[in-house]
Amino acid sequence: MMNCATFSKYSLLDLAFTVIGVSTFLFDVGSDLWVAKELYTHGEFMWFGVLLGFMLMSSVVIQLFSWFWLKYDRELKDFESQASARNVVLFSGAKRVKLLLVVHVFQLGFFIRHISAIWQGFRVWWREGCGSEYAIYLTHDLSMLRLIETFCESAPQLTLMMYIMLHNVNVGASTTSIAWMVVDYHRSLRSFLPDKDNQGWLSSVVYFFWNLFLIGPRVAAVALFASVLHCYIAAHFLSLWPVFVTWAWMQNTNFMDSPAGEWLYRATVGLIWYFSWFNVAEGHTRGRSLIYHTFLIIDTSILLATWWLYRDAEMTQLYAFILIISIPLFYVLGLLIKVLYYCCFHPKLWRPTDFGKPPVDIQADNASVQTINKRMGRHAANFYTTNTLSAIKRNACEATNSSVL
């Protein structure tokens, strides 16, 4: 018997979030393909190529992360036997390794992970909790992959769609996908930590709008800048991306289990930071968040000012003033909703708190060993404050005493 932290059980709400996330992802992909067809049909071959480039880049990055994690997991003690015992679609069966490699080469690994997570979640719901730890394990990885996919494809693609003004379907799908994936990722992190309450529907809705109003103005500003100086948007991104990657490296990230994987992660973080804040290091986050938001406000203001100076005054007469005012106001509204979230809707505010008692270690049931996703555990500890980090370290299971992650 080993002492482990007690993690939240997989619930019907978790299954609903997984299904909604998958549905949003599929709708986003479908709208991408529809827009690509429209671009090709109308002879816009350059934009057709750019859109396919975004889709291919995102898919390759996601498959790399998925394959790295699959390799890491298979190196763990007794992982294969325990995964097979639970009939986890993606991981069970040592003979499937070559097949899974082919699946990832053909860019289907992410899709298989979706099927595995939904199937395991349905089994848990049908059996009223049996196998909950494996469903949570799969959900943790999937939430991180969806977040990466969102910022590798949806955010750049949304910028492109706003630029070429094909926004009837695809912009709505991409914007919703971005905000929803951030909420899903945050819920996954909270469910992993023993001293954090799960995020309910009301908190999730507020968190969704907070991210929607912060990410939306940033994407809009980038798109407006690209509409007047489209040849310089790549230079703008490439001037900021190495700075963000260097900042991630200076914070000594440790999410992946190999140097190559860690640099892939830092490069992806740099892309995410171009659009939205994403904490990757231990300790208090307020200082780093303040630095980031201050920098992003300045950079976004420069983009908007550049657009205002170089715009066609006659063509933009009807909406220019509205945009130059509304975009900063929406960003400020997002910051205010963020403050409101922490003051009124944070999950910790909806539970009775006993300040006199330290966290309690609860022993795992003899019949079942808790499955702990160590890479997401490290990331969750980095995402939250020092108290949470201490709780994670205090409750972490020793790898030598565990046969799972």
Work out the number of other CB atoms within 10 angstroms of the CB of residue 79: 17
Cα–Cα distances (Å) from 141 to 151, 192, 278, 372, 375, in that order, read 16, 11, 16, 11, 9
Q: Which residue has the tokens 């349905």?
A: 122
What is the model's pLDDT at position 295?
94
Residue 65 belongs to a domain: yes
Contacts of 296-301 spanning 24+ positions with Cβ under 8 A = 296/218, 297/331, 299/240, 300/217, 300/218, 300/221, 300/327, 300/328, 300/331, 301/328
Closest CA to 119 of 141, 89, 99: 89
**Residue 213 host element (H or E):** helix 201-228
- In angstroms, the CA 90 to CA 97 distance is 10
Residue 359 belongs to a domain: no
Residue 128 belongs to a domain: yes
Cα–Cα distances (Å) from 190 to 4, 260, 386, in that order, read 17, 28, 15
Phi, psi at 363, each rounded to 5°? -75, 145
Residue 144 belongs to a domain: yes
Residue 2 belongs to a domain: no
Per-residue pLDDT of the chain (405 residues; tens, 9 = 90+): 333 444 556 777 778 877 887 787 788 788 888 888 888 898 878 888 888 888 899 899 999 999 888 888 777 655 555 555 554 445 455 566 778 888 899 988 888 888 888 888 888 777 765 667 777 777 778 888 888 888 888 778 777 777 665 344 445 555 666 766 677 666 666 655 555 555 667 777 888 888 888 988 998 899 889 888 888 988 999 999 999 999 999 988 888 888 999 999 999 999 999 999 888 877 667 888 889 999 999 999 999 999 999 988 888 888 889 989 999 999 999 989 988 887 887 666 544 433 333 333 433 333 343 455 666 666 666 655 444 444 444 444 444 344 334
What is the model's pLDDT at position 155?
79
Contact predicate 111/65, CB 8 Å: no
Q: What is the CA angle 140-144-148, rounded to 5?
A: 170
- In angstroms, the CA 161 to CA 177 distance is 14
Residue 272 belongs to a domain: no
What is the model's pLDDT at position 256?
86
What is the model's pLDDT at position 347?
66
What is the model's pLDDT at position 262?
92
What is the model's pLDDT at position 17?
77
Residue 26 belongs to a domain: yes
- In angstroms, the CA 173 to CA 299 distance is 26
What is the span of the domain harbouring residue 56? 9-157
Model pTM? 0.71
- In angstroms, the CA 224 to CA 216 distance is 12
- In angstroms, the CA 331 to CA 402 distance is 46
Domain count, the chain: 1
Strand-pair partners of 363: 3
Residue 47 belongs to a domain: yes
Cα–Cα distances (Å) from 233 to 52, 214, 227, in that order, read 18, 20, 9
